[in-house]
A and B are shown apart, each in its own frame.
Chain A
Amino acid sequence: MAVHPAPITFDDPHGGHGHGDGAGHPPHLKHYFVSSEQQFDASKLGMWLFLVTEILLFGGMFVAYGIYRSMYPELFTEASTQLDTVMGAVNTAVLLLSSLTVAWSIRAIQLGNKKLCFWLLVATVALAGMFMVVKYFEYTHKFDLGIFPGEEMVYAEGTTFTLPGLGEENFGPAVDEHAAEGDDHHYVPGDHGLTNQRAGLFFSIYYMMTGIHGLHVLIGMIAIGILAVKTWRGKYSAEWYTPIENVGLYWHVVDVIWIFLFPLMYLI
C-alpha cells in the first residue's frame, strides 16, 4: 500500500504499528504484512506447503502399499475382497459431496452470503460425521471377524503357517462352538475365508492408512466446526475469508487421499 508517486519513499514512521498513508487498513491485516493481498498470498502458500507435507506423510504408506503389492500381488487381490465395496463407494460419494459443499461455501462467502456459507459448512461437518459412522461399522465388522493388523490377525482353525511370526495364538475359536447360537449378527473370529499368511500385512497397511486418514477427517471436522461457529458470529466476510479457504484446501486433500485409497484398497 505504500506506493507513492516519485520520489520513492518507503517511509513508515510508525514502525510496525501503522501503515503510513492512512488509507485505513482492515483489522485482519497483520502489522508485518504490507497489504491484504500479501497476507492472503502468504497464508495460502503456507497452506499449500503444509498440504505437501500431508501428501508425503501419506506417501510413505502409499509407497509401502506399492512395494508390498509388487511383492505379493495375490495377497492384495485376495485380501481386498474382504473390504465392503458398497460401503467404500458410499463413503467416497459422501466425501466428494462434502468437498463440493466446502467449495460452495467458499463461493458463498466470496459473494458475501454468510448464512449460506454457514449452512454449507454445517453440511460438511455432517457429511464428515457420516463418513466416520460408516467407517466405524466397517471397522467393527472386521474386528468381529478377527481381522486385525499384523501379528494379531486371527485365522480359521487348521490353517498352516510357514511364517515364523504366526502360530497357535493366531487361531480363532473352533467354528462349530458358535454356530449353534444361531445369532445372525455374531461373527466368529477367523471366519473370513482368508488363508494367505500375509493377510495381516495387508490389513496393517489398511488400518494404518484408513486410520490416519480417519484422524485427518476428525481434525477436519473440528476445524470446519470452528469455522462454522465463527461464520455464524460474522467473523468472516467477502473481504476476509482466508481461514475458510485454507481449511477448505485441507479438506480437499483429505478427499483426494481417499480418492486414491478407495480403489487401491477396496477394488483391485
Chain B
Amino acid sequence: MSTVTTAPAPAKTSAAPAHPPGHEPVHNYLLEPGPGPDVKGFARVWPTVKAWATTVDHKRIGVMYLFTVSVFFAIAGCAALLVRAELMNPDMDFLTADEYNRMFTLHGVMMVFLFIVPSIPASLGNFALPIMLGAKDVAFPKLNLMSYYIFLAGASLAVYAILSGGIDTGWTFYTPYSDTTNTAVLPMTMAVFVAGFASILTGINFIVTIHKMRAPGLTWNRLPLFIWALYAVSIVQVLATPVIGITMVLLAMERLVGIGIFDPALGGDPVLFQHFFWFYSHPAVYIMILPAFGVISELMGTFSRQRVFGYRAIALSSVAIAMLGFLVWGHHMFVSGQSPLSSIVFSVITFLIGVPSGIKILNWVATMYKGSVWLTAAMLYSLAFIFLFTIGGLTGIMVGALAVDIHLHDTYFVVAHFHYVMMGGTVFAMIGALFYWWPKMFGRMMSETWGRISAGVTFFGFNMTFFTQFILGSQGMPRRYFTYLPEYHDLHQVSTVGSWFLGLGLLMVLFNMIWSLFKGKPAPGNPWGAATLEWTHTTSPPDHHNFHRTPLVTHGPYDYDVLFSGDGYGGDGAGTPAPVPNPEVGGPQEMGKSVDLGLSQPKPKHD
C-alpha cells in the first residue's frame, strides 16, 4: 500500500500552507487543547478527563480498553501468583481451601471474561482496525464507546461479586454446584452477561467496518491479515456470545426461582448446561487466540521483510477455524456422561482444527525462510509465540483424543495445555503487538534492549511454570486442589519459582511501557518499515481523523518491495507516475532520514 496521492507535487512539498488549522502534522489524538495558563487545579484537568470519557474516537477507546484490560490482567495475574505460592508446599500456608477455591475462580473468570476475550480485539483492534482499513473511524463510533462502558459495567459487577464473597465454582459455573453454592454466583453471571454485550457490540462494529468502510482499492485480497483475523473473531463474537447470555440468564433464573431447566430434581439435565456453556466458551477460545494469529501474521511479514507466505491460506484458515470452532465444544465434556456417539463426533472434528492451525504455523515459518529476519523485541515475542503455541496446539490434539483424555481430563496437563495456548499464545502475541504498535499509539519507542531481555525472562519463566505442569498432569495431579501428594512436591516448587520469573518478565514489560511514555525516543511515522496503512499513511501518534487524505490502495499489505523501491504504479491505469511521497506522514521517505533510534534495521532484500 503506497502513498498514492497523485495531486501535483509542488502543493505537497511546500508544506506550510497545506494544513488547515487544527490539522498540522503534530496534531495528536492523545492531546486536548489545554486551558489558559490562569486555570488552576481541578478545572485544569477536567476538560481532558471529560474529552476522554465522552470520546468516540476509536483510538482513544482502544487506549482506554488497553488500560482497563491491563488492570484486570494485573489483578488476575496477582491471583495466579497467590495460587502458585499456595502450591509451593502441600500445606495450607496462607490460603485456606476455601480461599484457594475463590482465588483460582477469580483468576479464571477475570482472565477469561475481563482480559483475554476483549484483550487484543478491543484494545489493539479498536486502535488499528479503522486505520488499517483507511477509514476515519469504525462504522458506529457511539456504539463503540457504549461497548466500553457496558464492559466497565460488567467488570464492576464482577468486582462486586468478588468483594461480596467471591465465587468458588471455577470459571465454568457448572450446574448443579453453581445452583447450590452460597457464594456470589448471581452477580458474577450477570457480569458475564453484561460483558458479553460489550463483546457483541465490538464484533458488530468490526464486521460492518470491514465490510463497508474499506479505503478505495483495499479489496478483500489486500486486507492485512490482522484484519482477516479480527473479521473471523467478530463473526464468532456475534454468533456465540448471545448463547452465553441466555445461558447466564437461565442459570440466574435457576437460582432465583428454580426453573429447573438444569436441575435433575425437577426433570432437567445438568449436562445441557455444559452444552450451552461450551457452545459459547469453546468458540470463545478462538475469540481469544484468533486475534493473536492476526498479530503474528503482521509481525512475521514486517520483521522478515518478506511478503507473508500463503496469504490467502492464512486468511481463509482464520475463517475456517472460526467456523470449525463451533463444532467441537463437546471435547470439554468427554467425561461428563454425554453420549459416546457425540464424543466420537466431537473428537474427530477436534482433530480437524489442527489442519488450519498447522497451515498457519507452517506459513509463518515459511515467511521467515530466506527473509531478513529482524530480531526486535516484538519479533522475539512472536517467535516465542510460535514455539509455545505449537506445543499448546499439539497437546490440544492429545487431549482431544478420547482415550487419552479419560486419563488427562481435569489434570494439570489440561491446565498446562490451555496456558500454553492462552498465555503462551495470546498474551505473548499481545505483548509482541504492543511492542509493535506502541510507537504508533503513543509516539514513543519502547526500550528494545529491555524488551529483548524481558522476552527472554518471560519465555524462560513461562516454560518453567507450565512445562512442569505437563509432567505433573501426566503423573495424575488433578487441577483445582489446594494440596497434593508428596511425590508432586518438587515439580510444584519448580513451577512456583517459574511463576516468579514470569511475573518478573511481565513487570519488565510494564516498566518498559511506563518508562517509554516519559523517556522513550520519539517515534517516526514508520519505525519498522511496515507496509500497512497505519504505518505508511499516518503520523505517530495519528491525527484525530487518522488521515489527511483518504488513502488509495494499489497493492497488498506485505508488498515491501513495491513500497520501498518506489517503482509502484499510480493505480488508475492511466500511466500516473510512481507515488509521490507524502512528507508529513510516515512511509518510505522516512527510512533514510529518521531520527537515530539505535536500532539496526537490515536493508530490505530484493532478489
Q: Do chains A and B touch in the complex (CB under 8 A)?
A: yes
A41 and B212 in contact, given A16-B136, A61-B246 (Cβ under 8 angstroms): yes
Contacts of A197 in B (CB 8 A): 267
Choose one: A53, A149, A212; the contact of B257 (CB below 8 Å): A149
Contacts of A212 in B (CB 8 A): 249
* B550 contacts A10, C-beta separation under 8 Å: yes
CA–CA, A61 and B276, complex, Å: 10
CA–CA, A41 and B254, complex, Å: 41
B137 interface residue per 8 A CB criterion: yes
Within 8 A of B (CB), among A1-32: 2, 6-16, 31-32
Which of A86-94, A186-194, A199-207 is the interface stretch? Answer: A199-207
A15 and B212 in contact, given A32-B141, A67-B272, A208-B253 (Cβ under 8 angstroms): no
Contacts of B140 in A (CB 8 A): 42-43, 46
A263 interface residue per 8 A CB criterion: no
A239 interface residue per 8 A CB criterion: no
A73 interface residue per 8 A CB criterion: no
Which of B44-52, B309-317, B571-579 is the interface stretch? Answer: B571-579
CA–CA, A150 and B213, complex, Å: 49
Within 8 A of A (CB), among B548-594: 548-552, 570-572, 574, 576
B207 interface residue per 8 A CB criterion: yes
CA–CA, A163 and B7, complex, Å: 80
Contacts of B550 in A (CB 8 A): 2, 10, 12, 34
> What is the number of contacts between chain A and chain B, taking CB atoms within 8 Å?
184
CA–CA, A42 and B239, complex, Å: 19
A158 interface residue per 8 A CB criterion: no
Choose one: B22, B207, B548; the contact of A45 (CB below 8 Å): B207
CA–CA, A72 and B260, complex, Å: 15
CA–CA, A33 and B139, complex, Å: 8
B243 interface residue per 8 A CB criterion: yes
Select the residue from B6, B18, B139, B216 with max chain A CB neighbours within 10 A.
B139
Contacts of B246 in A (CB 8 A): 57-58, 60-61
A49 and B207 in contact, given A8-B572, A32-B137 (Cβ under 8 angstroms): yes
B456 interface residue per 8 A CB criterion: no
Of chain B, the residue at the smallest CB distance from A204 is B259
* A149 contacts B260, C-beta separation under 8 Å: yes
B36 interface residue per 8 A CB criterion: no
* B551 contacts A151, C-beta separation under 8 Å: no
CA–CA, A208 and B257, complex, Å: 11
Within 8 A of A (CB), among B257-284: 257-261, 263, 265-269, 272, 276, 279
* B259 contacts A149, C-beta separation under 8 Å: yes
Of chain A, the residue at the smallest CB distance from B276 is A60
Q: Is the interface of A mostly helix, strand, loop or mixed?
A: helix
Within 8 A of A (CB), among B191-223: 200, 203-205, 207-209, 211-213, 216
Of chain B, the residue at the smallest CB distance from A46 is B208
Choose one: A32, A43, A60; the contact of B242 (CB below 8 Å): A60
CA–CA, A32 and B212, complex, Å: 12
Choose one: A6, A15, A164; the contact of B543 (CB below 8 Å): A15
* B265 contacts A163, C-beta separation under 8 Å: yes
Choose one: A15, A57, A59, A163; the contact of B548 (CB below 8 Å): A15
Of chain A, the residue at the smallest CB distance from B142 is A30
CA–CA, A10 and B548, complex, Å: 10
Within 8 A of B (CB), among A156-178: 163-166
Choose one: A63, A71, A198; the contact of B266 (CB below 8 Å): A198
Indicate the size class of the contact surface on chain A: 35 or more
Contacts of A164 in B (CB 8 A): 265
Per-residue CB proximity of A38-50 to B under 8 Å, as 1/0?
Answer: 1001110110011
* A52 contacts B570, C-beta separation under 8 Å: no
Contacts of A50 in B (CB 8 A): 200, 204
Contacts of A46 in B (CB 8 A): 139-140, 143, 204-205, 208
Of chain B, the residue at the smallest CB distance from A41 is B212
Contacts of A33 in B (CB 8 A): 213
Contacts of A151 in B (CB 8 A): 257-258, 260, 263, 266
Contacts of A15 in B (CB 8 A): 20, 22-23, 543-545, 548
B245 interface residue per 8 A CB criterion: yes
A144 interface residue per 8 A CB criterion: no
Of chain A, the residue at the smallest CB distance from B250 is A208
Contacts of B216 in A (CB 8 A): 8, 10
B5 interface residue per 8 A CB criterion: yes
CA–CA, A54 and B241, complex, Å: 10
Of chain A, the residue at the smallest CB distance from B212 is A42
Quote the shortest CB–CB distance from A62 to chain B (angstroms).
10
Of chain A, the residue at the smallest CB distance from B200 is A53
Of chain B, the residue at the smallest CB distance from A49 is B204
* B212 contacts A7, C-beta separation under 8 Å: no
Given contacts A67-B272, A165-B265, A201-B266, 10 further A-B contacts (CB under 8 A): A8-B4, A16-B544, A38-B213, A53-B200, A64-B276, A150-B260, A164-B265, A208-B249, A208-B253, A208-B259
Please give the residue numbers on chain B whose beta carbons come within 8 Å of chain A beta carbons, in ascending order: 4-7, 18, 20, 22-23, 135-137, 139-141, 143, 200, 203-205, 207-209, 211-213, 216, 238-243, 245-247, 249-250, 253-254, 257-261, 263, 265-269, 272, 276, 279, 543-545, 547-552, 570-572, 574, 576
Q: What are 24 A-B contacts defined by CB distance under 8 Å?
A: A2-B550, A7-B570, A7-B574, A9-B6, A10-B5, A10-B216, A12-B548, A14-B20, A42-B211, A42-B212, A45-B208, A46-B208, A50-B204, A52-B238, A53-B204, A53-B238, A57-B246, A60-B246, A61-B250, A68-B269, A72-B267, A149-B253, A198-B266, A208-B250
Those 6 A-B pairs whose CB atoms lie nearest each other, nearest first: A165-B265, A150-B260, A198-B267, A204-B259, A60-B246, A151-B258
